[in-house]
Structure 1
Amino acid sequence: MVKDFLSSNKKIYDAVHGFIPIDEFEKELIDSLPFQRLHYIHQLGIAYLVYPGATHTRFEHSLGVMYLATLMFDKICESVRPDVFHFVPRKGSTEYLYWRRVLRMAALCHDLGHLPFSHVAEKDLLGSCGHEEWTLKIIGSSHLEPVWEKLKDIPSCLEELTERNLVEDIKKVAIGESKWQGLTGKSFTPWERVVSELITGDFFGADRIDYLLRDARSTGVVYGLFDYHQLIETLRILPSADQGVNELQLGIDENGLESCEALLLARHFMHRRIYQYSSVKAYNFHLRRYMKANFKKKSLESVDDFLSVSDIDLIAELTKAAKNPDMPGYRDARCIIFREHRFRALTLPQSMTEKEIKEFQKREKISDAEIGWEFYPRDPPPDRLSFPVSRRHIVIQKARECSDLLLKVPSKRSNWIYISPERDLSLIHFLESWEA
């Protein structure tokens, strides 16, 4: 039965990672309606209007995350320090096979709850719970129940682990501890936290690594490419630099510091050149405003309704709206479909507040239809550089203590303002006078 559990008799060819092996249970999940829908959810939203190659989808990204997370899991289970040895399942054991299975299924499921065009309007339409709440609903829905029932029938999957809840573990690992606590009020064990971080971790997560590589390859912006093989090779489960073995964390051997620096720089440059690029932000603004005005509440009432909507449906609605002045979102639709009258997107000085923007709007007599803005919380960002580094295989230090370069990479997000082309000169003069 163990052999059946691990066997991979099928392969999917991926543009980034080459052949990705899958087994019959993963194939059944991939063939399901929720996963097939990801074929029609663009990874980078509407960025393909600026970067023509950015037509890749959440479908291939999820396969890539499964592939990378598996490599990472195998590495951390074979390179184990003595002081964390008792936390880590032995390679080939029932527990090892169980968590490897959970990880691969969770990786495939981690993006099932995305709205059309991914993140563009999720903050406005889904609130603070984001797409993760819908991911949990879909994992627990009747669409995937047959897959989970078949998995439960594998003796090597649940043998000696009768206290585990397979579906709940997949949910946990798919969305991460922070979202799980917010939605359920429950916390993770140290081992659950480590397994989940292989997918959702802010620094080492396979989700982050794959989207940087895939987005860079698809757009042609090579800043996102880095030596992820070296990063995975040096990945370790380490005691926390603050709390020791009482808290486990994903960290690296000191030989992987350069690849960590490369990852952080790649993310910084990809944000500047793609994710936070002004033309992309402008199109996102128009699409977000259109979706806020038109996205049907019915689509958020049930899993079936949610799964029935994808990018294809929204593009059809945009095309129809762009030809009918009486439809809500007409001007935003024309901007997207016919590329006319697009707003200008500009970054705001960090010291400027929403109050000053509203005063400018009132002074210049600018209507709400001619302007918009986007402010991010001023709370300090999470400390991405607190992960542990193993030096000389003994000493544990925080990454920030080991690399000057990591500390120098900017982490602040810019605030944005969007203005109609007829009004942009007055805004530019206002911003120039503010900075003078």
Structure 2
Amino acid sequence: MKITDKIYGEFIIESVLEELINSTVVQRLKYIHQGGASYLVNKKWNVTRYEHSIGVMLLIRKLGGSVEEQIAGLLHDVSHTSFSHVVDLVFKNNNEDYHEKIYNEMIIESEIPHILAKYDYHYDELLSNMSQWKLLEQPAPELCADRIDYTLRDMYEYGHISLRNAHNFLDHLIVVDGQIYLDNINEAEWFVDTYYKGLVTG
């Protein structure tokens, strides 16, 4: 399957990734927005969890991550509910982790375990401990594919950065011992500034 992303470009991906992308739980992310209900206020704030999940998968791939970590990246947000983190406000969940609490249940009840088993992967080994995937997730202020993608994608769609800005930044990413770093201080400062602007804007 050939897949094209406006930020990362064109890739040919493995069949297991194609089947996972076409699964019901991943396709539903096309209708869940990163910014919750904010797209109802500003039409530019319309990035979906689907676009973000594909982006995280492709960024991990671009950085040399394994197919297993790409799978984890693709599926890391599948348990988000309608309007994303708005549900945390509804349930007065200050940790904003409702989607994490229901993650395993949603995976088990979906077609994901069957698809993974078809390709000799076990969902529990790949998805029960996301901390094993160093490219995918890191605590702030460390860099990770999740944080990089939503920052670049959101800020590009909001009109605050250009594709050239994003590509310049990506060109300076390096991986050392499985973790993401930058080889240029100017790009590091640019990302910090862009990231915090995204928090304020979003």
TM range (shorter): 0.7 to 0.9
Matched, 1:222 2:151: no
Matched, 1:23 2:14: yes
**Between Structure 1 and Structure 2, how many residues are aligned?**
196
Asked if the contact 2:33–2:49 (Cα under 8 Å) also holds between the matched residues in 1, the reply is yes
Asked if the contact 1:44–1:118 (Cα under 8 Å) also holds between the matched residues in 2, the reply is yes
Pairing of 1:23-422 with structure 2 (within 5 A) = 23-74=14-65, 100-125=66-91, 127=93, 128=95, 129-152=97-120, 166-172=122-128, 176-177=130-131, 192=132, 196-201=133-138, 202=140, 203-222=142-161, 225-226=165-166, 227-232=168-173, 234-237=174-177, 250=179, 252=181, 255-272=183-200, 274-275=201-202
Residue 168 of structure 1, CA deviation:
2.1
Residue 221 of structure 1, CA deviation:
2.2
Runs of 4+ in 1 over 6 A off after TM superposition: none
Residue 204 of structure 1, CA deviation:
1.2
Change (3 A) 1:71 1:172: farther
Residue 212 of structure 1, CA deviation:
1.1
User: If the length of structure 1 is used for normalisation, what is the TM-score?
Assistant: 0.41
Asked if the contact 2:32–2:84 (Cα under 8 Å) also holds between the matched residues in 1, the reply is yes
Asked if the contact 2:113–2:123 (Cα under 8 Å) also holds between the matched residues in 1, the reply is no
The 2-side partners of 1:268 and 1:144 are apart by 35
Asked if the contact 1:62–1:110 (Cα under 8 Å) also holds between the matched residues in 2, the reply is yes
Asked if the contact 2:155–2:194 (Cα under 8 Å) also holds between the matched residues in 1, the reply is no
Residue 35 of structure 1, CA deviation:
0.6
Higher-Rg structure is: 1
Alpha carbon RMSD of aligned pairs, Å?
A: 2.5
Residue 110 of structure 1, CA deviation:
0.3
Change (3 A) 1:150 1:126: farther
Change (3 A) 1:126 1:102: farther
Residue 126 of structure 1, CA deviation:
7.9
The 2-side partners of 1:43 and 1:215 are apart by 8
User: If the length of structure 2 is used for normalisation, what is the TM-score?
Assistant: 0.84
Percent identity of paired positions between Structure 1 and Structure 2: 28
Residue 108 of structure 1, CA deviation:
0.9
Residue 123 of structure 1, CA deviation:
4.8
Describe the SS at the equivalent of 1:267. helix
Residue 31 of structure 1, CA deviation:
1.1
